[in-house]
Structure 1
Amino acid sequence: MRTGFLVVCLPPLLLVTSAACTNAADGKGVASVDGSARPSASQSLSRVDQFLRYSQCMRKEGVPMTDPEVEGDNVRAGTYDKDSVDMRKVAAAEEACKQYRPPRETGPGMALKDELARRFARCMREHGVKKFPDPNPDGPTQTGPEVGQDPQYREARTTCDAQIDAVSASLRPSPS
């Protein structure tokens, strides 16, 4: 009886097992109801690699952005000279490259960064750049081309950068 059971059950079991362990010839390889799912070929990129791709894309779009800056565990996006770049070109490049920009960081240090960004925006408006926007809660402050072309922009930026640097230094914990 046991031998008959094995003879009847073993071939279908082997057939099902072998079919489950093979790859599809079309390379899709992921089951879905409508057939739209595709396997991911890339692993998650580090924050540095994400910012590097973003910088490369921005350069491809005509914005001379530097590679990301790394200081210990802190990774910042590359920079460009806002005074020498057409802000319309920057806005178009940011839109074209947005899929490469990593998501906004979260954590305790972000509260300080958010506060400094709010103070910077307020300072810029107080120093004559009336259209300088409040910071974007989901990422970097998006300024339109009219902001960088404001005649007060360069002087206000110099003043506000210095004020924010001083405030930032006073709020950071002192090294022990």
Structure 2
Amino acid sequence: MRRILATAALLMTLAACSDAAGNGIATAGGTGSETTTASPANEEKDGRKFAQCMRDNGVEMDDPDPNQPGRVEIRERKGERDKVRQAMEKCRKFLPTPSKEDLEKALEGMQEMAECMRANGVPEFPDPEPDGGGLRLDAGPGTGIDPDSPEFKAAEEKCREHLPERPGRFKDGDR
């Protein structure tokens, strides 16, 4: 299973795979607070244009919830890593853009999360990339990171307080 955690614009991605077959859903939280309505001007703001672009490029993705501005969910099935990466390159320009302050706060929170994860039993957990490349984590056999391990789950629970206000959440996808 591959999971992706993306934060709009900064696009911090946490891609983790395990031995389990099936789909994963990752959610990404922005920091917007306004409620959007269905108008062309808001389609780009709330991520609908991004979601449509991803679907147009073969990635299973629902429209974002209008009650959670800036939050997107991406489903990546096993073996679709390259397809998702290619779609992200084409569609990244449509992601809702948080303010510079929100990006700095998100990066700071992700750095604290990484330090906390390492201090709590996941020594290979990487630092976020401050250039906007985000946080990429390949996990599974041979990487030293198993997101399904008790150590990872315990560290994640302990460290999630460091994530930005609307952190990504892992959810099991449809099987």
Which TM-score band (shorter chain)? 0.3 to 0.5
Higher Cα radius of gyration: 1
Q: Is the strand fraction higher in 1 or 2? A: 2
Q: Is the helix fraction higher in 1 or 2? A: 1
Bigger relative contact order, structure 1 or 2 (CA pairs below 8 A, ≥6 apart): 2
Normalised by the length of structure 1, the TM-score is: 0.48
Normalised by the length of structure 2, the TM-score is: 0.48
